[in-house]
Chain A
Amino acid sequence: MSKSSDGGIDLTRPKIIGAPVQRLEDPRLLTGHGKFTDDVKLRGTLHVALRRSDHAHARIGTIDTAEAEEMPGVVGVFTAELLDALTRPVFATSKMKDYHATPVRALAGGKVRFAGEPVVAVVAQSRYLAEDALAGIEIDYTPLEPVVDPEEAAADNAVKLHDHLPGNVLVARRFGVGDVEQAMGDAPIKVGGRFRFHRKTPTALEARSYLADYDQGTRALTLYASTQVPGIVRDALVEVLDMPGSKLRVIAGDVGGGFGGKASLNPEEILVCALSRHLGRPVKWTADRVEDLISTSQSFDEIVDAELAVDQDGTFLALKADILGDVGAFSIYPWTAALEPMQVAGFLPGPYRVPNFSANVRAVATNKAPMGPYRGVGRPISAFVLERLVDMAAKKLAMDPKEIRLRNFVKEEEFPHRTGSGIVWDRSGFTECLERAADAINYPALRKRQAEARADGRWLGIGIASYAELTGIGSRLSAAPGMPINTGTESATISVDSSGAVTAHFGIASHGQGLETTLAQIVAEEMGVRLEDVEIVQGDTSAVAHSTGTYASRSAVIAGGAGTLTARTLRGKIIEAASHLLDVDMADIDFADSLISARGTNKTMSLRELARAVYSQMGSLPGDIRAKVDLQASEFYDPHFGTTTSATHLAAVEIDPETYEVSIEKFVVVEDCGRVINPMIVDGQVHGGVAQGIGAALFEEVVHDVTGQNISATLVDYVIPSAAEVPSMEVHHLDVEAPSTLGGYRGMGEGGTIGAPAAIANALNDALSHLGVEIMELPMTPERLFQVISAAQDGEAESS
């Protein structure tokens, strides 16, 4: 028995939405028959290898390609000189004041701005031969002073990356509410300090891959791309290549993970398209892992100086922060350099009442790979900083970390609540998530066990992190501040073809989330057909007129909404056609499990029979009816603002006092993601997000040396967690109140990564609290733990 969407009990039909149905994409992926971009083989394909910059910052002098051009199998060797003639630069523009855009180009010209930036492209008969020829290229560089430290980069006298700009600060903004200085001055208790979240890279298992196929006959170009945003890429290529959208198609087939690293326009996408059009042949480039680690957009690189003021009873009084985001060499397209650091500020007040808030945000360019979106975008840092501050305040007040959170959460009667940064929370289970997580982990018993462990000299810690995020963001807000691209709407087109088959077209682009399954669940249930009868077309710009892709926890909410509306419209047409064909009132037509029947009679009709009657049997329907019941529909959905998703993560960790190895004993997540479409998929999203959060907290860091060289460019150096490091997790879902989104869905793809770093940081801090250690930096590798513990012990020795 299940509840129907109008609240009544529907006993007649098994529900598809909410059921843990097995994924439709799995059989092909389990048998090696998925089609990832590098699996696409086109006759006559040429292969690209890239000579990337060895320098973080240098002027490019002469480039000698003569030897490379003579090498076996080489078709051509290309530099910015040709590429700039074949393409137009594209800029990530913004309506934000005092924002400075930087160009996105296929190859670096004039200057290189990070070690790993593509400079020369070799095109050859095979990738082996193209890579051989890289050795035959001589580039004469004049090294420039590398700009590596973000604070030095932001200084007035810093060496500039972009000569045409006033400095390296690409955007600066201040905002807030209330009088923070006054409130801070009057407050009895203040906690704060400098927090450092080190640079990460999304590291999808499939490295980026692009194959462009220019058809000389039709002058049309198809780009097969491992991208999350085929629509954004297509629309940018229209400008870059000066071709109409009707001649440009971007297909993201099976995509091997993205996490934000495939959500921006990349130079190599422009490159293969321009070269394919120039050469009249298919041109493919696939990143190797080193290229992926040095050139794919990176993330989460922030320094945050923050302070929280609280009253004696734990009530939050004021919060202020100064946020410096190291955005790398370029302002990423289309999200801009503002995306990540602005989001840190935007979500800093969290799920709490904070009457006075101010944030000062700067995005500064350095000689590193550009910063782009990564799962959680800014919010893992907001949650880390805020949740650490909350625990610091609790410690000062000798209050339990759970208690101080419960006192300050936005309460049920206070929704909708506008935060100091202007975000509006609709009702979500802030309090319920924490209470339920504490119950699930048996918080009092765990605290007792911790006390016993401490008495035995063991370093066991418990960490809580609660957060709120905005998902399914509609057209009234922008996924990135000031960005002129609309990411808030989706349309769907569903048709029943002449064979009776149902095909639903969407603009989103699944890259592991199982959207072929979840959208099929929605369409099947809303329309009245069987799941296996729905074909989902997505990840292809030819599917709908306008699309962007899948990012920002938007697809289930916005595409789900468009699918719902379209399925309902088409269902109405089918019922109307059937009522004429079966000669009964529309109210007496049942349509479920792909079968149409006239209630109280033995008259039934399959969709195939209905389609044949509508399309082929002329005269079966009156002309005016036939025009009305064309078996296709297209509807548009805009949630306008979006909806709040919230969660509490609770971690119990133990640190080995000898090796400083951290083991995660327990990890509990309780989250409110609204109505669950497929609980199996929701669990999987949480698990995966938490694993990435664990990586961010304990292992992962992109390291640059003082010359700007990336010295973590292998998977031995950039450590992502394996099955041995990720614990078994417990995940619970709350459905506190249906949000106003159509279908009651909230987005939930990113949350795991938002809460986990903060929960682990607090647990580590708790484990070491008797040593006077404060965890202010992530990742907390064993080496960093050793350093902070040693520093604390040295400090203690000095003061005693």
Chain B
Amino acid sequence: MADKCRVRITVNGVAYDQEVEPRLLLADFLREDLDLTGTHVGCEHGVCGACTVLLNGDSVRSCLCLTVQADGAEITTVEGLGTVDNLNSLQQKFREHHALQCGFCTPGMLMTATDLLSKNENMSDEELREGLSGNLCRCTGYEHIVNAVRAAMNE
């Protein structure tokens, strides 16, 4: 086992200063060390997008990112969006449009959509679908997800 490294990472506004193994994936750091299990691991090879989080405002796959690479970064996970009693507008649109079924891909889908919406004011459906195409969903057929993100964009 390699020596542990010190990392200082802010997650959802909370500052952490911890020792981690250099090989620890960011996804496992969030899920196992911080108990933020909203970030899901779907493939561990960067295809499905379920583990997507924001790193300094950009969407990244936390299964392809080592914790030490995130040293000094600000991370936002799904737990940093709205709450059960106070969903944010994108989460609310997902609910209104039935954009989730099993909910496993949903956190990653929300983080990718958050990134997309923060950088693009007006996307065509084709651009929206292209923007979401790095996040796989096996339940919804995407129609309702596209509707929800479009509704959030138009709000």
A residues with CB within 8 A of B: 20, 22-23, 25-34, 36, 38-39, 41, 72, 128, 203-207, 254-257, 259, 288-289, 511-514, 680-681, 683-684, 686-692, 714-716, 720, 722-726, 728-729, 752
Complex-state Cα separation, A528 to B61, whole angstroms:
47
B128 (CB) vs chain A CBs: closest residue: A723
Task: Determine whether the beta carbon of A33 is less than 8 Å from that of B38.
Answer: yes
Give the contacting residue for A128; candidates B23, B43, B102; CB below 8 A: B23
Determine whether B101 belongs to the interface, using a CB cutoff of 8 Å to chain A. Answer: yes
Determine whether B138 belongs to the interface, using a CB cutoff of 8 Å to chain A. Answer: yes
- 9 inter-chain pairs at a CB distance below 8 angstroms, sorted by A residue, are A26-B100, A27-B85, A29-B100, A38-B37, A204-B104, A254-B103, A687-B140, A687-B144, A715-B43
Contacts of A512 in B (CB 8 A): 101-103, 139
Q: Which of B3-11, B64-72, B73-81 contacts A (4 or more CB under 8 A)?
A: B73-81
Task: Determine whether the beta carbon of B104 is less than 8 Å from that of A205.
Answer: yes
Do A206 and B40 form a contact, CB below 8 Å, given A255-B102, A681-B98? yes
Complex-state Cα separation, A32 to B62, whole angstroms:
15
Contacts of B37 in A (CB 8 A): 32, 36, 38-39, 41
Contacts of B23 in A (CB 8 A): 128
Complex-state Cα separation, A323 to B104, whole angstroms:
36
Task: Determine whether the beta carbon of B87 is less than 8 Å from that of A256.
Answer: no
Shortest distance between the CB of B144 and any CB in chain A (Å): 6
Determine whether B96 belongs to the interface, using a CB cutoff of 8 Å to chain A. Answer: yes
Determine whether B58 belongs to the interface, using a CB cutoff of 8 Å to chain A. Answer: no
Determine whether B59 belongs to the interface, using a CB cutoff of 8 Å to chain A. Answer: no
B residues with CB within 8 A of A: 1, 21, 23-24, 28, 31, 35-45, 47-48, 50, 77-79, 81-85, 87, 91, 94-96, 98, 100-107, 110, 125, 128-130, 132-146
Do A23 and B138 form a contact, CB below 8 Å, given A254-B102, A723-B146? no
Contacts of B146 in A (CB 8 A): 723, 728
Task: Determine whether the beta carbon of B38 is less than 8 Å from that of A259.
Answer: no
B87 (CB) vs chain A CBs: closest residue: A30
Task: Determine whether the beta carbon of A257 is less than 8 Å from that of B102.
Answer: yes
Task: Determine whether the beta carbon of A511 is less than 8 Å from that of B98.
Answer: no
Complex-state Cα separation, A72 to B21, whole angstroms:
14
Give the contacting residue for B35; candidates A26, A34, A41, A203; CB below 8 A: A41
Complex-state Cα separation, A22 to B87, whole angstroms:
13
Complex-state Cα separation, A692 to B106, whole angstroms:
18
Shortest distance between the CB of B40 and any CB in chain A (Å): 7
Task: Determine whether the beta carbon of B129 is less than 8 Å from that of A684.
Answer: no
Task: Determine whether the beta carbon of B101 is less than 8 Å from that of A684.
Answer: yes
Complex-state Cα separation, A39 to B107, whole angstroms:
14
B92 (CB) vs chain A CBs: closest residue: A30
Do A22 and B101 form a contact, CB below 8 Å, given A692-B138, A715-B43? no
Shortest distance between the CB of B50 and any CB in chain A (Å): 6
Give the contacting residue for B82; candidates A28, A31, A686, A723; CB below 8 A: A31
Contacts of B138 in A (CB 8 A): 203-205, 257, 259, 688, 691-692, 720
Task: Determine whether the beta carbon of A683 is less than 8 Å from that of B48.
Answer: no
Complex-state Cα separation, A596 to B37, whole angstroms:
42
Do A723 and B129 form a contact, CB below 8 Å, given A36-B104, A205-B48, A691-B142? yes
B36 (CB) vs chain A CBs: closest residue: A32
14 more contacts with CB within 8 A, not counting A23-B95, A27-B84, are: A27-B95, A31-B78, A32-B36, A204-B102, A205-B42, A257-B102, A257-B139, A681-B98, A684-B140, A691-B142, A692-B138, A715-B48, A722-B142, A729-B141
Give the contacting residue for B98; candidates A33, A256, A684; CB below 8 A: A684
Contacts of B102 in A (CB 8 A): 204-206, 254-257, 511-512
Contacts of A28 in B (CB 8 A): 84
Task: Determine whether the beta carbon of A680 is less than 8 Å from that of B98.
Answer: yes
Give the contacting residue for B130; candidates A259, A511, A724; CB below 8 A: A724
Contacts of A204 in B (CB 8 A): 102, 104, 138
Contacts of B143 in A (CB 8 A): 683, 687, 726, 728-729
